[in-house]
Amino acid sequence: MSKAPLVELGRFSIRHKVILLFFLVIMLPFLFIGYFSHSKSVEAIQNVSAAISSQMMEKNARNLDNYLELVSKTQNEIMYSADMQNLLSIIPSNTLEELEIASKLIQYSSSLSSNSHDYSIRIFPIDPSRYPTFTHSIYHNVDVEKEEWFTDAKSMKSPFWQLFLPEDNEVLYKEPILSLIKQLYGLEKTRPLGYVAADIKVSTLSDYLAPVKMLEQQQVMLIDDKDVIVYHQDQSLIGTSVASRKLRDYLRQTPAGADPIDIEGVEYMVTYAPLANNDWKVVSLLPVSVLTKPVAGIERVSVLFLLFYFGLSVITVAYLTSRFTNPIHRLVQAMRKVERGEFLFSVPRVSRRDEIGWLYLGFDNLVRRIDRLVQSAEKEAKDKKELEFQVLTHQINPHFLYNTLEAIRWKAESRRADDISEMVRSLGNLLRLSLNDGRELTRVEREIEHVRAYVGIQSARQDTSIRVVYMIDDDIMRLPCLRLLFQPLVENAIKHGTRHAGDGDAVKIVIKGSRKPDHLKFEIIDNGPGISEEIRSSLLSADQSDQSRRKGVGLRNVHERLVIYFGERYGLRILNREGEGTVIELTHPILCDEPAQAG
């Protein structure tokens, strides 16, 4: 029966529990506090930044609205001035008159461009072909009538904004220009006289959109109602559509404010404010990583502290492991050896005066005491077995020797016959084979010879005929076996057979012997009356009264010797039915052939 282990090791060992405990007590709270502090700091920075950025964008939007409104009002004043009306109302009839009007228009345009509001005014007659000198001087022979915006101005009637880029005309537009184009009517408003464009350099818008120093990687842009970038620090993006669909959807669907958005794998804090007079929006994009940059220093310090505590935990666990758990683990291994019955080993010595040292010392003393007790018990068991062998042997030999000597005396007194010498010879062989030079083991063939000698003596000392048939396999004749096995069984069969035999009846005994896979099997079969069930069940039992033990001494002695010498698997079994004879089955182990026991 297997025993449960003293301590369940593996993943639930003390060492692993200590490591888990340190992680839960030190590392886990620190990780939680660090993560909580970091996340809350980032959240607070984002909220504050969003609030400040929203206020800034709203202020910038108001400033830009005011500036554009100022440009529009100034443009209106110029458009409805008497000088502008008079110049564009005259239709030149000849070249000289056209030259005079062109000179006045050039002079007037130059005067309009010298203002303090960083914008310029361009005049376009309704029919530029009538003013070739003016067109050539101002627009460098550009056919304005074929420009797309000029065509749109004729059809739209209402004012609109137009973005001119250097790639449209490198001569006219050295940099991106944002123009507010209005149609000019005469005072009588019967027919249009031309168009007036208020040109604002896009670079000028930076004074209103980014008046203060921006953060690193921050982008500020002006986006029109068609999602076209009108202003950006990077001029290469001016005139292009907003590339991010998420940003476009956000600007269309979300009210003005500030929210984090993932744009092409980078998280940005997006803030925007709409302009009051149109659907344009002032937008700010700032990477969240820039906002949380101050927290990165705290994060690095936290990581350093985490590594420090981790190293401290490793050192502490290593100390506890080497100082406490490893000695306990070695002691558990020693206990398992003792559990398996191994006592011939030395318990590890520890020079410690604490509880671990006392535990080792106590276990060492315990193992030594158990070892002494086991050795003492083994010696006592061996002495007891030898004594039992001697007692059993002496229970058989004196009784049989007495009966044999009585038979010889009776034969000698009753008649003087030659068979007396034969009996004496058989008796000598019987004694020689019984003693077996003091050895407990003999051979099967010597046991059979012993039975033959005994049967010869019994046949000579009584009148009943005894017939014994030997059916022993030849391959087991020289195998070792315990001595005095068959003679007591044959004696028992002869005694009970002759007691119930009638005149002329012979006692018939069959001795069978064969080899099984793991033992030798012998059967002693007689033709006697059999043994009753009540007696048969008690013959081989060790728990008997003194009166009961006097019955079947030979059978019980043979059985007990086999059990004591070889174990509970071997011994005798009585197989019979009452009135039909007796079968004694003897089971004996297969032993190695030992030449020292050959005779």
Q: What pLDDT, in 10s, does the model give residues 72-104? A: 888 888 887 877 777 777 777 788 888 888 888
* pLDDT interval class at 45 (50, 70, 90): low
Question: Would 176 be classed as within a structural domain?
Answer: yes
Which residue among 174, 204, 234 closes a domain?
Answer: 204
Question: What's the pLDDT at 2?
Answer: 42
Task: Output the CA–CA distances (angstroms, integers) from residue 67 to 118, 123, 142, 162, 235, in the order listed.
Answer: 10, 21, 30, 17, 21
* Residue 526 three-state SS: strand
CA distance 570 to 562: 6
CA distance 593 to 587: 18
Write out pLDDT tens, residues 525-576: 988 887 777 777 777 765 555 555 556 678 888 998 899 889 889 999 988 7
Question: What's the pLDDT at 422?
Answer: 63
Mean of the per-residue pLDDT values of the chain: 77
Question: What's the pLDDT at 9?
Answer: 39
Question: Would 67 be classed as within a structural domain?
Answer: no
The set of residues, in sequence order, having a beta carbon less than 8 Å from that of 524 and lying 6+ positions away, is 486, 489, 490, 493, 509, 510, 511, 583, 584, 586
Report the candidate in 143, 276, 119, 139 with the shortest Cα–Cα distance to residue 197.
119
Query: Averaged over 28-33, what is the pLDDT?
Result: 72
CA distance 544 to 473: 37
Question: Would 394 be classed as within a structural domain?
Answer: yes
Write out pLDDT tens, residues 419-452: 665 666 667 667 666 666 668 899 999 999 989 9
Question: Would 215 be classed as within a structural domain?
Answer: no
Whether pTM > 0.75 for this model: the answer is no
Which residue among 204, 239, 258 closes a domain?
Answer: 204
* pLDDT interval class at 12 (50, 70, 90): low
Question: What's the pLDDT at 50?
Answer: 65
* Residue 6 three-state SS: coil
For residue 384, the enclosing domain spans 380-597
Write out pLDDT tens, residues 457-511: 888 777 778 899 999 999 999 999 998 899 999 998 888 776 666 555 788 999 9
Question: Would 388 be classed as within a structural domain?
Answer: yes
Which residue among 204, 233, 263 closes a domain?
Answer: 204
Beta-carbon-side half-sphere exposure of residue 419 (alpha carbons within 13 Å): 13
Question: Would 117 be classed as within a structural domain?
Answer: yes
Return the structure tokens found at 86: 């008079």
Question: Would 455 be classed as within a structural domain?
Answer: yes
Question: What's the pLDDT at 471?
Answer: 95
Question: What one-letter code names the amino acid at 395?
Answer: Q
CA distance 397 to 315: 78
- CATH number assigned to the domain comprising residue 175: 3.30.450
Return the structure tokens found at 440: 């407990």
* pLDDT interval class at 339 (50, 70, 90): confident
Return the structure tokens found at 119: 């914008």
CA distance 271 to 47: 12
- CATH number assigned to the domain comprising residue 549: 3.30.565.10
Question: What's the pLDDT at 371?
Answer: 78
The tally of domains found in the chain comes to 2
Report the candidate in 513, 516, 515 with the shortest Cα–Cα distance to residue 489.
513
Question: Would 317 be classed as within a structural domain?
Answer: no
Query: Averaged over 267-277, what is the pLDDT?
Result: 86
